[in-house]
Structure 1
Amino acid sequence: MTDIKTIGVVGAGQMGRGIAQVAAMSGYEVFVFDISKEGLDFGLQFIDKQLGRGVEKGKWDQAFVDSTKSNLTGITDMAKLNTCDLIIEAATENKKIKFEIFKQLDEVAKPGAILASNTSSISITEIAAVTKRPEAVAGMHFMNPVPVMKLVETITGLETSEATISAVEAASEKMGKTVVRADDVAGFAVNRILMPMINEAFYTLYEGVADAKGIDNAMKLGCNQPMGPLELADFIGLDTCLAIMEVLHEGLGDTKYRACPLLKKYVTAGRFGRKVGKGVYEY
């Protein structure tokens, strides 16, 4: 399967709704699935608002918005993904949840359909192994916020075919993204570099080297980063950062990937970042 016309997105949260928006804007017919009707409605309403703001700012006209919206269909029945050529899973960064989703997708997806995961760190080989089509499973790691960030990191599992990864990369490029292909090693390329930096920022705060604002200003003004590492962690979600660090630590077995105790403490306290109004900073 290389001729992708219809895309399914599993999860209408922050990443899923962004992927769905970009895919629909690129002319794909898109089915957005969420187990929660409330979550699905919120995700579609969010896309609608984003498209409306684009019209207000002169990025695109109303005809384009209407066309994009006509490409989007929200569903709460996973079986309705059975017409999709490519299904992109964008659920929470949790192995058990992703494995269960892929078992279900393998049952409902049509023969030849490609199954992709937006995972930022979990092994594609492991995910593919729970299906009966491991050659048709790949990683498709979008960056947040999806409509803004230009990168898609594609990941090949041990059994991923060249036809599958080529089709995934072609779809990414049609969505206006630049592709970087990475091997299936814990953290891939982006988070192998990014998360240890964020984790080290937490150690710097934990050890009292500088306060949070000082650490972020040092990296923004000294290294020309658009966001400081602690601010970025709040934006990503501290729970997600911790989950990725634990995957790195488990997968690579090196103590340098040990999650900072302060990061663990914040997550234990429910301080997940912007999405709950409190992380390193309060919002």
Structure 2
Amino acid sequence: MTTSINKVGVIGLGLMGHGIVQAASMAPGKRYEVVGLEATEDAIGAGKGRIEASIKRQLSRSVARGKLTEADAESQGADYLSRISYTTDRAGLADCDLVIEAITENPAIKLPLYTELGLLTKPSCILASNTSSLKIADMAGASGRPDRVVGLHFFNPVQVMKLVEVVRTDATDPAVFEQCRAFVNSIGKHPVSCKDTPGFIVNRLLVPALAQAMLMVDRGDASVEDIDKSMELGAGHPMGPLALADYVGLDTCLFILQGWVDNFPSEPAFVVPDCLRAMVDAGKLGRKSGEGFYKWEGDKRGPVSRL
């Protein structure tokens, strides 16, 4: 059972979801009809504002570079926005060909949603999760249509980042998987394929590396500054691991690592460093709270923080 993807639903218009809506609406390879779903009208208003402002910024940059005239930018912006509709009613997703879920990383909320989507959407609809750390197989099982469920893990900010991890479970229909890879290509992103393994590719490699840097802090092996500077100058990384952890959010790092420790206790790469737990307990969540391993003013990194 394969149908072409023409109508795309996105559940959640927050940090990730609004970017996915924008990417789909501005697809260079195809004209998609996009439906954004949120729980409240206020949330729709906030998400709509983010999308409109982001599209305007992107087109303004094209004008500044001489790639578009002001008139063309205005025309294109209106066209992109005309492709998007918004709703608080899940029934508005019933005739979508692809529904991408981008809600909070909480299985207690996600799994019932997939059960509802499995009953609500048409049988040919593909269901996809933007989760970065939860098992796709659990959501696939809850949906009642595991052959039509995949992971589509976008990266923040979606408007800028080209990578999308396309994740398959043992039950995913190969044709569905290839359709999703083609969809990712059509919106100007680069798909990479992965099995339903913890953290997929990027986070499976990245998050344990961040944890190892934190364990060095726990042991007093080196200072925060020297750990980060070593990876910047010695490995060519644009940002050191502890600064990156601050940027990701220390609460997010803890959530991912604690979930892995709980679900895969025999995997030695999955560990929660003491300094990470202490930072989060102290409300030092990184850039978002203004303090983590470093002090922050917006995106500007300041001096090292002390517990």
The TM tier, using the shorter chain, reads: over 0.9
Distance 1:278 1:33, change over 3 A: farther
Q: Is the 8 A contact 2:245 2:253 kept in 1?
A: yes
Distance 1:280 1:83, change over 3 A: farther
Using the TM superposition, give the Cα deviation of residue 237 of structure 1 relative to its aligned residue in structure 2, in angstroms. Answer: 2.2
Using the TM superposition, give the Cα deviation of residue 56 of structure 1 relative to its aligned residue in structure 2, in angstroms. Answer: 2.5
Using the TM superposition, give the Cα deviation of residue 229 of structure 1 relative to its aligned residue in structure 2, in angstroms. Answer: 1.7
SS at match of 1:256: coil
SS at match of 1:195: helix
Q: Is the 8 A contact 1:118 1:142 kept in 2?
A: yes
Check if 1:159 corresponds to 2:163: no
Return the TM-score normalized by structure 2.
0.86
Show the counterpart of 2:301. none
Q: Which amino acid aligns with 2:207?
A: M
- Further displaced range: 74-83 or 209-218: 209-218
Q: Tell me, which stretches of 5 or more residues in structure 2 are unaligned?
A: 298-307
Distance 1:216 1:168, change over 3 A: same
d(CA) in 2 for partners of 1:261, 1:143 = 27
d(CA) in 2 for partners of 1:228, 1:40 = 36
SS at match of 1:158: coil
Show the counterpart of 1:194. 206
Check if 1:268 corresponds to 2:281: yes
Q: Is the 8 A contact 1:2 1:163 kept in 2?
A: no
d(CA) in 2 for partners of 1:270, 1:108 = 40
Using the TM superposition, give the Cα deviation of residue 218 of structure 1 relative to its aligned residue in structure 2, in angstroms. Answer: 2.1
SS at match of 1:3: coil
Show the counterpart of 1:31. 35
Show the counterpart of 1:95. 107
Show the counterpart of 1:66. 78
Q: Cα deviation per residue 1:38-78 (whole Å; 9 max; x = unaligned)?
A: 33322221121112222322265222211111112222222
d(CA) in 1 for partners of 2:101, 2:290 = 26
Q: Which amino acid aligns with 2:274?
A: P
- Which residue of the other structure, out of 200, 217, 229, is the alignment partner of 2:241? 229
What root-mean-square deviation, in Å, do the aligned CA atoms of Structure 1 and Structure 2 show?
1.8
Correspondences of 1:163-174 after superposition (within 5 Å) = 163-174=175-186
Using the TM superposition, give the Cα deviation of residue 132 of structure 1 relative to its aligned residue in structure 2, in angstroms. Answer: 1.2
Show the counterpart of 1:133. 145
- Further displaced range: 168-177 or 41-50: 41-50
SS at match of 1:57: helix
Using the TM superposition, give the Cα deviation of residue 221 of structure 1 relative to its aligned residue in structure 2, in angstroms. Answer: 2.1
Return the TM-score normalized by structure 1.
0.93
Show the counterpart of 2:228. 216
Check if 1:47 corresponds to 2:51: yes
SS at match of 1:257: coil
d(CA) in 1 for partners of 2:44, 2:218 = 38
Q: Is the 8 A contact 1:186 1:247 kept in 2?
A: no
